[in-house]
């Protein structure tokens, strides 16, 4: 993990960018790359790139960034890992190209020189990078198809700026903090700010799977090079027989794990008592990783109870020969860390606390890289949403399709305020269940659109909804049609909840501790390999196949326990924190309502006029 | 580079028009026609009070003040020549432009200038702007304001600032001041309309600051160029303050005389709060005269964030003027070159052609 940023004064009316701004933005990302830092300026000083480095591949200074091509025509600043770098390098060397380093960064320079913007189709991995093209006097930006690595841009009409973090861009001091209503509405709807919006009108995310070109004529609209729905639509016509599922999962996940083990430093693993991380650990051992450490986050509140994940995680670690580290966290440590958590949180999120503490534990253990099981539930239909969303569509969709019925039902149900207060989303079933996007919004929604007036004021809510177009945005991610109920929910989960919340949380929480979190279950090659299997996947079957992927399958106790699930006390801590620090045992609220209270506290931590006006 | 074949320009005024918007439209359309970025341009103005002379490649219809006739003429012109690019020279034209673009399948450009684009637009205008392929804005402030009310991809909003011709160049200030009988005076200058609806230009603030400057030892003369219904009011204001001999209202002047006046001034000052860009700042600085304005709205762009001119806060104008008059005038030639380097015709023409070309880039 690293941090990159840059400034390009593309409009001839603009003054040359200042070094102090470039450095201020870069240094706001110090924790992303504690091992080194660099800057580069074009000869006319109209474009500057900067980088903070976390050394993982080629630890030498030769691989420092920004890195220039031998002929001086290209300069790259890169965050991420290119997992197929050895293959790409071999092919480039076969065509006569000489490498100066053993880093994956250099591959980007040679690929761009050979293939231009089309280079992105050859990359496997997580990446966000910027390449300065001296001959075309322009800047090329790209972000990986799954959105694992972030990249934010700001354009004021004269000068284009970009960075790995929103707060880093703001630290440069030249970008307005005018609020973006769509970002605020999006946060209250989903619990995280949906790409490409941020809380600020002048800062946008480069969407996952997009490139962008900037030259003297200004930034062009981002171009999509990868579309998850299209992957299903193109490769999902063939449905894999159920009997072939275990082999398919074993082969594809093993391949992804192998690719994700590319590093010149030790790789650890975040080990819970669930199937995803345990299976990955098993495959790591099977692939030949000999010595590795597994970090398990456990909670003081659950010590000695059957909610404690540590014993089962220890069983898995023992089975696969990992050195097991259990890091226990309690409410007191949470409250102590809360100010720095909110400071490190790049954009507001109602989650990320687990990611914060497990990354903290990894840092304490001296790790730089950790494998995470994030993405398993999205990939293999592990979430309740894979059952709920299609069911709600079937049961309530025909009624919700009747114009106006939702609003009428909502008015009637208001006669029962107690029910409305405890199960607010039930009121939306007859309003939203007539479409996939509506049903998904109901499943993942924090607040529903009709509730926003009370949360944030009518004008801001109306303008935010108009700009965000949440249902349209969700529906757009399903084009072309992925082809089956499971595939649709898979695409929705990948494109929204996982991308905007889980992956973003993993980035800021890992970054705050200088930990690169790798996610072998979030991989386009893996997804493509399993598309035909996912089309017909029944809930539970995919995760069972994953549990059996290692030659020595996960212990039966883990598989059984995974079915009933674990709870974490962080929700109660968050609810307590948002109730002015009352102890968590005295705060009783359904999880959903606790999240709502927490969301207001989180937003309060983001200094903007809108936040301050509307936060509790 | 893919170019548009036929462009229909819906404008308030352009060739034969007066004021900043007409000037901008002439500059833009002339740049596109001159560089061959479009094959032909048909201009439909609402007003054209002065004699019309159009460059090669541009045809201008007679002005039509009547709205209905204007709309009919626009529709007929669009279909007669099958325009593939519609240019709306003003936000007010955007709904008509969007309608024609929709009917003909043409691309749509909407031009945003200043205060008309800052408050939220009407529903009809906003909807039209949101369908535009390109929104040209004269300044970063105007661009940011439009982004505040329009749900449109930010990349479609491009800043193409006003430009200044090479005829605005430094001259012999001392000789000009002597010729005007203003030797040994400190000459302040404002150029702009004096419209009761546009009191944001700040003439009154400058007049109010003069006694303080005189008290500080500056033998100030304030020249005011321009016309408008507020002229009488400002004259009365200067008279009441006992400054009739120090504030000279010159009315409207022709371009050669205007250039001389710019060259003669010691300081161009326009504490305006409502400039979309403020082309007069550019003209003054290109003529070698230092400029002072407020750190507000589009004036920031013309003054290049203080790199070319002086940006000051709204409060304390008198102090800022005194400081500026106490500072020795810099090298006018250096200032003029710096202005041309950023805002010269060459950059403008290149920017205009590049902006139009990107509409036709493959997506």
Tracing tokens 């990302």 back to the chain, one arrives at A29
**Per-residue pLDDT tens over the stretch A204-240:** 999 999 999 999 999 999 999 999 999 999 876 778 8
- Nearest residue on chain B to A196, alpha-carbon basis: B153
Determine the pLDDT at residue A584: 56
Q: Do B80 and B196 share a domain, yes or no?
A: no
Percentage of chain A exceeding pLDDT 90: 74
Determine the pLDDT at residue A567: 67
Among the partner-chain residues A217, A222, A467, the one whose CB lies closest to the CB of B355 is A217
Range of the domain at B228: 173-343
Determine the pLDDT at residue B67: 94
> Which of A24-28, A270-274, B229-233, B302-306 is the least confident region?
B229-233
Q: Do B255 and B350 share a domain, yes or no?
A: no
CB-based contact A12 B157, cutoff 8 Å: no
Determine the pLDDT at residue A454: 87
Q: Do B99 and B210 share a domain, yes or no?
A: no
CATH class of A229-381+488-567: alpha beta
Q: Which chain A residues contact residue B157 at CB under 8 A? A: 157
- Nearest residue on chain A to B151, alpha-carbon basis: A467
Residue B137 in any domain: the answer is: yes
Among the partner-chain residues B144, B154, B342, the one whose CB lies closest to the CB of A204 is B154
Q: Which chain A residues contact residue B307 at CB under 8 A? A: 15
Q: Which chain A residues contact residue B341 at CB under 8 A? A: 12
Which homologous superfamily does the CATH classification assign to the domain defined by A3-226? Aminohydrolase, N-terminal nucleophile (Ntn) domain (3.60.20.10)
SS3 A563: helix
- Nearest residue on chain A to B161, alpha-carbon basis: A13
Determine contact: A118 vs chain B, CB below 8 A: no
CB-based contact B153 A223, cutoff 8 Å: no
**Per-residue pLDDT tens over the stretch A507-539:** 999 999 999 999 999 999 999 999 999 988 988
Nearest C-alpha neighbor of B273 from the set B243, B249, B293: B293
CB-based contact B151 A467, cutoff 8 Å: yes
Strands (E), A505-558: 516-518
Considering only residues A109 and A575, tell me which one the structure prediction assigns the higher pLDDT: A109
Average pLDDT, whole number, for chain A?
A: 91
- Nearest residue on chain B to A223, alpha-carbon basis: B363
Strands (E), A423-562: 516-518
- Segment B96-125 shows an average pLDDT of 95
CB-based contact B343 A13, cutoff 8 Å: yes
Q: Do B298 and B267 share a domain, yes or no?
A: yes
Q: Where are the alpha helices (DSSP H) in A95-165?
A: 104-115
Determine the pLDDT at residue B37: 87
Determine contact: B155 vs chain A, CB below 8 A: yes
Determine contact: B1 vs chain A, CB below 8 A: no
Q: Which two tokens stand for residue A379?
A: 């990939």
Q: Do B119 and B221 share a domain, yes or no?
A: no
A155, containing H or E segment: strand A152-155
Burial classification of residue B329, based on how many CB atoms lie within 10 Å of its CB (0-12 exposed, 13-18 middle, 19 or more buried):
middle
Q: Do B187 and B297 share a domain, yes or no?
A: yes
Complex ipTM value: 0.94
Determine contact: B345 vs chain A, CB below 8 A: no
- Nearest residue on chain A to B149, alpha-carbon basis: A463
Determine the pLDDT at residue A421: 67
> Which of A67-81, A451-465, B165-179, B194-208 is the least confident region?
B194-208
Size of interface A-B (CB pairs under 8 A): 72
For chain A, positions 138-177, list CB contacts with chain B under 8 A. Answer: 155-158, 176
**Residue A481 binned pLDDT confidence (cut-offs 50, 70, 90):** very high
Write the CATH number for B13.
Answer: 3.40.50.2000
The Cα A435–Cα A393 span in angstroms is: 7
**pLDDT at residue B193 greater than cutoff 90:** no
- Segment A391-402 shows an average pLDDT of 89
Q: B36 vs chain A: nearest CA distance in angstroms?
A: 17
Number of domains chain B is built from: 2
Q: Do B349 and B305 share a domain, yes or no?
A: no
The Cα A109–Cα A98 span in angstroms is: 12
Determine the pLDDT at residue B4: 65
Determine contact: A609 vs chain B, CB below 8 A: no
Determine the pLDDT at residue A591: 58
Tracing tokens 């996960």 back to the chain, one arrives at A554
Cα dist from A356 to A152, A278, A508, B103, B197, whole Å: 22, 20, 8, 55, 57
Nearest C-alpha neighbor of A146 from the set A381, A483, A477, A554: A477
Determine contact: A178 vs chain B, CB below 8 A: yes
Q: Which chain A residues contact residue B37 at CB under 8 A? A: none
- Segment A253-278 shows an average pLDDT of 95
CB-based contact A221 B155, cutoff 8 Å: yes
CB A143 within 8 A of CB A164: no
Q: Which chain B residues contact residue A467 at CB under 8 A? A: 151
Q: Which chain B residues contact residue A469 at CB under 8 A? A: 151
Q: Do B148 and B186 share a domain, yes or no?
A: no
Among the partner-chain residues B137, B343, B363, the one whose CB lies closest to the CB of A157 is B137
Q: Do B249 and B218 share a domain, yes or no?
A: yes
**Per-residue pLDDT tens over the stretch A168-189:** 999 999 999 999 999 999 999 9
Q: B357 vs chain A: nearest CA distance in angstroms?
A: 9
Q: Do B10 and B93 share a domain, yes or no?
A: yes
Cα dist from A246 to A257, A284, A384, B233, whole Å: 16, 18, 22, 88
For chain B, positions 62-101, list CB contacts with chain A under 8 A. Answer: none
Residue B168 in any domain: the answer is: no
Three-point CA angle A548, A554, A555, nearest 5°: 130
Q: A180 vs chain B: nearest CA distance in angstroms?
A: 8
Give the residue range(s) of CATH 3.60.20.10 domains in chain A.
Answer: 3-226
Average pLDDT, whole number, for chain B?
A: 93
The Cα B251–Cα B258 span in angstroms is: 11
Percentage of chain A exceeding pLDDT 70: 94
CB-based contact A13 B155, cutoff 8 Å: no
- For residue B181, the number of C-alpha atoms closer than 13 Å in the C-beta half-sphere is 3
Q: Do B185 and B293 share a domain, yes or no?
A: yes
**Per-residue pLDDT tens over the stretch A360-384:** 999 999 999 999 999 999 999 999 9
Determine contact: A218 vs chain B, CB below 8 A: yes
SS3 A296: strand
Q: Do B118 and B62 share a domain, yes or no?
A: yes
Q: Which chain B residues contact residue A186 at CB under 8 A? A: none
CB A207 within 8 A of CB A196: yes
CB-based contact B143 A156, cutoff 8 Å: yes
**Per-residue pLDDT tens over the stretch B234-287:** 999 999 999 999 999 999 999 999 999 999 999 999 999 999 999 999 999 999
Q: Which chain B residues contact residue A223 at CB under 8 A? A: 363
CB-based contact A218 B358, cutoff 8 Å: yes
CB-based contact A202 B144, cutoff 8 Å: yes
CB-based contact A217 B358, cutoff 8 Å: yes
- Nearest residue on chain A to B356, alpha-carbon basis: A217
Determine contact: A202 vs chain B, CB below 8 A: yes
**pLDDT at residue A614 greater than cutoff 50:** no
Q: B164 vs chain A: nearest CA distance in angstroms?
A: 12
Measured in residues, chain B has a length of: 363
Q: Is A321 left (phi over 0), alpha (psi -120 to 50) or beta?
A: left
**Per-residue pLDDT tens over the stretch B5-17:** 899 999 999 999 9
The Cα B284–Cα B295 span in angstroms is: 17
Determine the pLDDT at residue A57: 79
**pLDDT at residue A616 greater than cutoff 70:** no
Residue B56 CB: number of other CB atoms within 10 A?
8
- Please provide the DSSP assignment of B209-257 as one string: HHHHHHHTT--EEEEEE---TTHHHHHHHHHHTT-TTTEEEEES--HHH
């Amino acid at each position: 993990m690293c941090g990159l940023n840059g400034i390009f004064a593309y409009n001839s009316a603009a003054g040359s960018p200042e070094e102090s701004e470039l450095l201020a933005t870069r240094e706001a990302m110090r924790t992303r790359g504690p091992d080194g830092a660099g800057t580069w300026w074009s000869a006319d000083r109209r474009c500057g790139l900067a980088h903070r480095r976390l050394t993982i591949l080629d630890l030498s200074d030769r691989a420092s960034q920004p890195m220039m091509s031998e002929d001086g025509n290209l300069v790259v600043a890169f965050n991420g890992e290119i997992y197929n770098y050895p293959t790409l390098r071999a092919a480039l060397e076969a065509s006569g190209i000489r490498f100066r380093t053993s880093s994956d960064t250099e591959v980007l320079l040679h690929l761009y020189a050979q293939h231009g913007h089309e280079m992105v189709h050859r990359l496997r991995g997580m990446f966000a990078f910027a390449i300065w093209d001296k001959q075309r006097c322009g800047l090329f930006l790209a972000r990986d198809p799954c959105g694992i690595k972030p990249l934010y841009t700001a354009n004021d009409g004269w000068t284009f700026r970009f960075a790995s973090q929103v707060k880093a861009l703001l630290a440069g001091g030249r970008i307005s903090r005018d609020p973006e209503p769509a970002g605020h509405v999006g946060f209250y709807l989903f619990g995280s700010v949906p790409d490409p919006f941020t809380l600020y009108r002048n800062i946008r995310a480069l969407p996952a799977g997009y490139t962008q070109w900037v030259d003297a004529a200004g930034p062009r609209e981002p171009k999509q090079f990868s579309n998850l729905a299209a992957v299903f639509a193109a490769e999902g016509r063939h449905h894999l027989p159920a009997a072939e599922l275990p082999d398919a999962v074993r082969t594809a996940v093993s391949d992804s794990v192998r690719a994700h083990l590319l590093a010149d430093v030790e790789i650890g693993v975040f080990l819970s008592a669930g199937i995803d991380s345990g299976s990955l650990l098993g495959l790591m051992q099977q692939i030949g990783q000999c010595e590795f450490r597994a970090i398990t986050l456990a909670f003081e509140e659950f010590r000695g109870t059957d909610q404690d994940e540590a014993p089962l995680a220890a069983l898995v670690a023992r089975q696969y020969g990992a050195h097991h580290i259990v890091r226990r966290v309690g409410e007191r440590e949470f409250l102590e860390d809360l100010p720095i958590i909110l400071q490190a949180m790049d954009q507001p999120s109602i989650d990320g606390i687990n990611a914060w503490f497990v990354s903290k534990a990894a840092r304490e253990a001296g790790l730089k890289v950790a494998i995470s099981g994030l993405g398993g539930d999205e990939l293999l239909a592990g979430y309740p949403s894979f059952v709920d969303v299609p069911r709600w569509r079937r049961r309530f969709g025909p009624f919700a399709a009747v114009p106006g019925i939702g609003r009428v039902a909502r008015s009637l149900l208001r006669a029962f305020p107690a029910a409305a207060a405890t199960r607010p989303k039930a009121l939306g079933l007859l309003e939203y269940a007539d479409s996939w996007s509506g049903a998904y919004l109901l499943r993942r929604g924090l607040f529903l659109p009709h509730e926003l007036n009370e949360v944030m004021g009518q004008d801001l809510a109306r303008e935010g909804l108009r700009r965000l177009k949440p249902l349209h945005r969700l529906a757009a991610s399903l084009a072309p049609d992925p082809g089956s109920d499971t595939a649709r929910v898979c695409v929705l989960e990948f494109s929204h909840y996982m991308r905007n919340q889980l992956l973003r949380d993993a980035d800021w929480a890992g970054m705050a501790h200088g930990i690169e979190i790798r996610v072998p279950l979030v991989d386009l090659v893996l997804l493509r390999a399993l598309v035909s299997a996912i089309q017909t996947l029944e809930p539970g079957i995919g995760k069972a196949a994953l549990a059996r992927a290692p030659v020595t399958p996960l212990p039966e106790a883990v598989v059984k326990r995974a079915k009933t699930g674990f709870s974490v006390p962080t929700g109660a801590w968050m609810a307590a924190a948002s109730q002015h620090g009352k102890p968590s045992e005295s705060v009783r609220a359904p999880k959903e309502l606790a999240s709502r209270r927490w969301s207001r506290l989180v937003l309060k931590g983001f200094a903007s006029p809108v936040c301050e006006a509307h936060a509790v | 580079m893919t170019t548009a074949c036929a462009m229909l320009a819906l404008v308030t005024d352009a060739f034969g028009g007066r004021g900043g918007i007409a000037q901008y439209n002439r500059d833009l359309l002339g740049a596109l026609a001159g560089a061959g970025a479009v094959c032909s341009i048909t201009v439909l103005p609402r007003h054209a009070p002065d004699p019309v002379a159009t460059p090669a490649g541009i045809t201008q219809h007679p002005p039509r003040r009547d709205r209905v006739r204007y709309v009919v003429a626009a529709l007929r012109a669009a279909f007669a020549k099958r325009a593939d690019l519609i240019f709306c020279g003003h936000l007010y034209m955007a709904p008509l432009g969007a309608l024609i673009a929709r009917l003909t399948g043409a691309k749509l450009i909407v031009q945003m200038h200043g205060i008309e684009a800052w408050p939220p637009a009407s529903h009809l205008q906003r909807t039209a702007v949101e369908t535009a392929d390109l929104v040209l804005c004269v300044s970063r402030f105007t661009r940011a304001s439009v982004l505040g009310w329009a749900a449109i991809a930010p990349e479609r909003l491009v800043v193409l600032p006003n430009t200044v011709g090479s005829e605005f160049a430094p001259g012999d200030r001392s000789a000009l001041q002597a010729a005007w009988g203003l030797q040994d005076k400190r000459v302040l200058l404002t150029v702009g309309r004096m419209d009761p609806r546009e009191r944001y230009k700040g003439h009154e603030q400058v007049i109010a600051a003069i006694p303080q400057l005189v008290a500080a030892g500056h033998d100030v003369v304030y020249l005011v160029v321009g016309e408008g219904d507020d002229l009488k009011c400002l004259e009365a204001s200067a008279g009441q303050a006992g400054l009739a001999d120090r504030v000279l209202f010159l009315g409207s002047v022709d371009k050669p005389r205007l250039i001389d006046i710019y060259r003669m001034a010691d300081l161009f000052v326009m504490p305006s709060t409502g400039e979309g860009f403020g082309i007069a700042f550019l003209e003054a600085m290109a003529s070698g005269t230092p400029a002072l304005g407020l750190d507000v709205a589009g004036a920031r762009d013309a003054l290049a964030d203080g790199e070319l001119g002086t940006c000051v806060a709204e409060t304390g104008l008198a102090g800022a003027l005194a400081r500026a008059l106490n500072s020795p005038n810099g090298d006018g030639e250096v200032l003029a070159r710096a202005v041309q380097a950023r805002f010269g015709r060459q950059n403008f023409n290149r920017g205009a052609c590049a902006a139009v070309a990107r509409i036709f880039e493959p997506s």
